[in-house]
């Protein structure tokens, strides 16, 4: 797919010129603009209001120094980021990624995607994202705490329960959120819902840990149902072995599928009998070790070095749950050749544009990240609601709300794709449905 509309082509050229050296951000913008062609033609009022020019430019981006002292007494310096992309429909909301690969391009692509994702949830949340090039791997608890405290010392000036509410992402789980929350509270002397993904003893929501993975499967099950099938009896390949991957594997198994792989950035495991999830949780959540350790408990399983190999495993459904651009065109072709009929994205932008072309050409059911993985932020929205009301809902209440939201997200994508003449293209549906709500709000609020 290439952009044909002259206005959008020119806009993309300006985005490329202004954001040189930011390939991930340009990739994310290109994908959205490509699918907005029919909207631009049908809604000249939004073009006139300059909504598109404004939506591709972050409202604010903050880059800061994060100094901390390691266990040997040496000073370390990392770089911190917070991109507050769009607040048209609510306070900025989006996770904090801690990974050595983090840079402005990655945070901007994630923040941009977050605008449309948050809009799809139906909850009042704007888009933002942040993080640091800090690598939590191999660090002691003390080092993690000192880093998180230093990071929050600066970030605290820019966020707040009614302004910007960060959450977890790669490398930021309950432990990191806890240290950051503690530091915010100490600096501000206030106990507010300034972060989500908090521990259950201090304002966290039940089912937040499970939400992205469960939500991915709820969305995928809806997509399968609409196309006359289901998870039952299917073989599923999952990449990653973090928060999203683990709970996607759990829900897919509950839905009657067999999950045969999981991976990390070193390699992947294949268990023909179906992954033993209790064992993965022990290795990843308790021991914080590498996925290779699975063979210690299950010597009959196989381990292969490298991440890409996971897409050569035969499956009916692929759920990428690790990182951006993990499925390229070549891997997508192998998936198709091996009979894969469904790709639904737990990770953000895990498929390259070439891979998406392969899915569309071969009529795969394709669940795009913005819609399919919105369950995490939706439940973060529910955590904000509970914090504001000083209430806690039960696991079942939150899970039921999450399920309802994922069903409505699928319906919104399906309906928008049909209305704009692209039936079955849920990527276009997600972009259009997510965009329209934000665009209407931006137009209503004037040129800000």
3-state secondary structure of 173: coil
**Choice from 91, 131, 204, 240 touching ligand NDP (CB under 6 A):** 240
Q: Indicate the burial class of 54 (C-beta count within 10 angstroms; 0-12, 13-18, 19 or more).
A: middle
Binding segment (CB under 6 A) for ligand NDP, from list 11-19, 67-75, 145-153, 321-329 = 321-329
Reference 210, options 252, 176, 258; nearest CA is 252
Rounded Cα distance, 242 and 337, in Å: 28
Determine if 283 is a binding residue for ligand NDP (CB under 6 A): no
Q: Rg for the chain (alpha carbons), in Å?
A: 21
Name which of 3 and 107 has its Cβ closer to ligand NDP. Answer: 107
CB of 201 to ligand NDP, least distance (A): 20
Determine if 165 is a binding residue for ligand NDP (CB under 6 A): no
Determine if 176 is a binding residue for ligand NDP (CB under 6 A): no
**Choice from 321, 332, 409, 422 touching ligand NDP (CB under 6 A):** 321
Name which of 212 and 235 has its Cβ closer to ligand NDP. Answer: 212
Residues 83-142 that bind ligand NDP (CB under 6 A): 99, 101
Rounded Cα distance, 332 and 262, in Å: 17
Residues in Cβ contact with 354 at an 8 Å cutoff, skipping those fewer than 6 apart: 328, 329, 332
Determine if 243 is a binding residue for ligand NDP (CB under 6 A): yes
Catalytic residue chosen out of the listed positions 93, 117, 129, 370: 129
DSSP lists the bridge partners of residue 62 as: 82
| Contact criterion met (CB below 8 Å) for 267 and 310 | no
Residue 129 annotated among the catalytic residues of the structure: yes
Binding segment (CB under 6 A) for ligand NDP, from list 36-44, 220-228, 342-350, 416-424 = 342-350
Size of the site for ligand NDP (CB under 6 A): 25
Determine if 212 is a binding residue for ligand NDP (CB under 6 A): yes
Rounded Cα distance, 172 and 123, in Å: 23
**Choice from 91, 376, 381, 434 touching ligand NDP (CB under 6 A):** 376
3-state secondary structure of 422: coil
Determine if 414 is a binding residue for ligand NDP (CB under 6 A): no
| Contact criterion met (CB below 8 Å) for 174 and 203 | no
Determine if 261 is a binding residue for ligand NDP (CB under 6 A): no
Reference 365, options 433, 421, 330, 316; nearest CA is 316
Determine if 322 is a binding residue for ligand NDP (CB under 6 A): yes
Catalytic residue IDs:
129
Residues near ligand NDP (CB under 6 A) are 99, 101, 168-171, 212, 240-245, 264-266, 307, 321-323, 346-348, 373, 376
């Amino acid at each position: 797919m290439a952009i044909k509309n002259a206005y959008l082509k020119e806009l993309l050229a300006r985005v490329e010129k202004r954001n040189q050296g930011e390939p991930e951000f340009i990739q994310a913008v290109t994908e959205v603009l490509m699918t907005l062609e029919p909207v631009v033609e049908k809604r000249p009022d939004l073009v006139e209001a300059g909504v598109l020019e404004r939506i591709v430019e972050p409202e604010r981006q903050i880059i800061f120094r994060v100094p901390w002292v390691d266990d040997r007494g040496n000073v370390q310096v990392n770089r911190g980021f917070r991109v507050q992309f769009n607040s048209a429909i609510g306070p900025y909301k989006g996770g904090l990624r801690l990974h050595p690969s983090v840079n402005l391009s990655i945070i901007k692509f994630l923040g941009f995607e977050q605008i449309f994702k948050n809009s799809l949830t139906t909850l009042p949340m704007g888009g933002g994202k942040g993080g640091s090039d800090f690598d939590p791997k191999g660090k002691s608890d003390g080092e993690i705490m000192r880093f998180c405290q230093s990071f929050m010392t600066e970030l605290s000036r820019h966020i707040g329960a009614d302004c910007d509410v960060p959450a977890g992402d790669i490398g930021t789980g309950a432990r990191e959120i806890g240290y950051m929350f503690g530091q915010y509270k100490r600096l501000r002397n206030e106990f507010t819902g300034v972060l989500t993904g908090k521990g259950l003893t201090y304002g966290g929501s039940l089912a937040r840990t499970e939400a992205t993975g469960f939500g991915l499967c709820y969305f995928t099950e809806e997509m399968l149902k609409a196309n006359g099938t289901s998870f039952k009896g299917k073989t599923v390949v999952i990449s990653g072995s973090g928060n999203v991957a683990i709970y996607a594997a759990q829900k897919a198994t509950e839905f009657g599928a067999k999950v045969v792989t999981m991976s990390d950035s070193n390699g992947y495991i294949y268990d023909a009998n179906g992954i033993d999830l209790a064992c993965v949780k022990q290795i990843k959540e308790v021991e914080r070790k590498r996925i290779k350790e699975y063979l210690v408990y299950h010597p009959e399983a196989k381990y292969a070095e490298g991440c890409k190999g996971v897409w050569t495993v035969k499956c009916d459904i692929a759920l990428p749950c690790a990182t951006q651009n993990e499925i390229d065109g070549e891997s997508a072709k192998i998936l198709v050749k091996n009979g894969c009929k469904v790709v639904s994205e737990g990770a953000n932008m895990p498929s390259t544009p070439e891979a998406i072309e392969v899915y569309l050409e071969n009529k795969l059911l394709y669940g795009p990240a913005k819609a399919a993985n919105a369950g995490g932020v939706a439940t973060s929205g529910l955590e904000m609601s509970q914090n504001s009301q000083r209430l806690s809902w039960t696991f079942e209440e939150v899970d039921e709300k999450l399920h309802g939201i994922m069903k409505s997200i699928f319906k919104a994508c399906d309906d928008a794709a049909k209305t704009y003449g692209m039936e079955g293209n849920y990527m276009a549906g997600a972009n259009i449905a997510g965009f329209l709500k934000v665009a209407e709000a931006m137009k209503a609020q004037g040129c800000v």
